[in-house]
A = this chain, B = another copy of it.
C-alpha cells in the first residue's frame, strides 16, 4: 500500500532549452513527483497513459518502487507536451499540447489509496482536485495541492476553495501575487493562512521557497546551480520530495516541514541538471544527503 498518493499527468515531453533538446521523453507532473517521492517513501500514482506507453518506462517506475494500481492504461495516445525555454530558462513557452487520453480522464482512487495519509494533487482543474479529496476514506494527515496561473486566471473562486480544502496549496510567487492581488509575498502568504491553512509555501524558482506560519517565516534557498540544463518538472520534484519526506517521518510539524522543504529544494536542483528525468534516473540517496547537508554551509552566517 502506497504511503503517498500522487495525482497528476504522465506524459511524453518534447523539450528544447539553450543547453539541449529531447523528443518524446517521459514526463508529466505525477511522474516527476512520484519519482522524487520514491527516494523517501512508497508512492502510488493516480493517472492515465495511452496504449503507446512503453513497457520499459513502466518498468522504470516499478523499479523506483512506485505503485501503479492507479495508473489507468487506455486505448489511444499518452498526453503530449512540447515546450521551449529561451535565454531566461525559468519559464517555458508551450509549443504544443495534445491532451489525448488525459482529455476525458475521470480519476478514480483505487480502494487501497483511499486510506493514505499523504496526498499530492498535481496542478489540474480545481474541481478534479476537490473530487479526489472527497474520494479519500478518511481525512489524510496532509493534502498538498499544486496549482497554476491558468486556473487562477479562469477559476479563481474554485482555486481558493482548493486552498481552503487542502492543507498546503503550492503556488509560485507570481501565482500567489495574482491570486491575492498583492505584490507582497508575505501578504499573499498571510491571506493563505486566513483560509484555514496552518502554513503557506510559496515557490520562488531559482530563489528558493518561503514557508509562512502564524509564528514566522522560513526562507529556503535554492541550490546555487551553475548548470541548469532543463527546469522541466522541478516544481513537481520539489512537491514530491517534500511530501515523500514528510510521509517517511510520519509527521508534519514545522521543524519536519523545514527539512522537507530543503529535501524538495535538493531533489529539484538535481532534476534541473539533466534533460527531462535523466538526472533523477541515476540519482542516489547519498547524493541527496550530501547536497542537503551542503545547504547548511550555504545559509550559515
The segment from A2-10, A142-150, A210-218 that touches chain B is A210-218
Oligomeric state, in number of copies?
Answer: 2
B224 touches A212 (CB 8 A): yes
Contact of A300 among B87, B88, B218, B225 (CB under 8 A): B218
Interface of A: prevailing SS: mixed
B299 touches A219 (CB 8 A): yes
Determine the chain B residues whose CB is within 8 A of the CB of A90 once the complex forms.
Answer: 183
B224 touches A258 (CB 8 A): no
Nearest-CB residue, chain B, relative to A225? B186
The segment from A63-71, A122-130, A201-209 that touches chain B is A201-209
Interface size class of A (residues with CB under 8 A): 35 or more
Q: A204-B207, A207-B207 are in contact. Are A298 and B218 (CB under 8 A)?
A: yes
A273 to chain B, nearest CB (A): 12
Q: A207-B204, A219-B299, A295-B301 are in contact. Are A190 and B226 (CB under 8 A)?
A: yes
The verdict on A221 contacting chain B, using a C-beta distance below 8 Å, is yes
The verdict on A262 contacting chain B, using a C-beta distance below 8 Å, is yes
Nearest-CB residue, chain B, relative to A298? B219
A221 to chain B, nearest CB (A): 4
Q: How many Å lie between the Cα of A173 and that of B223 in the bound state?
A: 16
Q: How many Å lie between the Cα of A259 and that of B301 in the bound state?
A: 6
A175 to chain B, nearest CB (A): 15
Determine the chain B residues whose CB is within 8 A of the CB of A221 once the complex forms.
Answer: 208, 219, 221, 299
Q: How many Å lie between the Cα of A204 and that of B219 in the bound state?
A: 14
Determine the chain B residues whose CB is within 8 A of the CB of A295 once the complex forms.
Answer: 301
Question: Interface residues, chain A, CB within 8 Å of chain B?
Answer: 87-90, 183-187, 190, 204, 206-208, 210, 212, 216-222, 224-228, 255, 258-259, 261-262, 295-301
Q: List 20 A-B contacts (CB under 8 A).
A: A88-B183, A89-B183, A89-B184, A90-B183, A184-B225, A185-B206, A185-B224, A186-B225, A186-B226, A187-B226, A190-B226, A204-B207, A210-B224, A212-B224, A217-B224, A219-B224, A221-B299, A258-B300, A261-B301, A296-B301
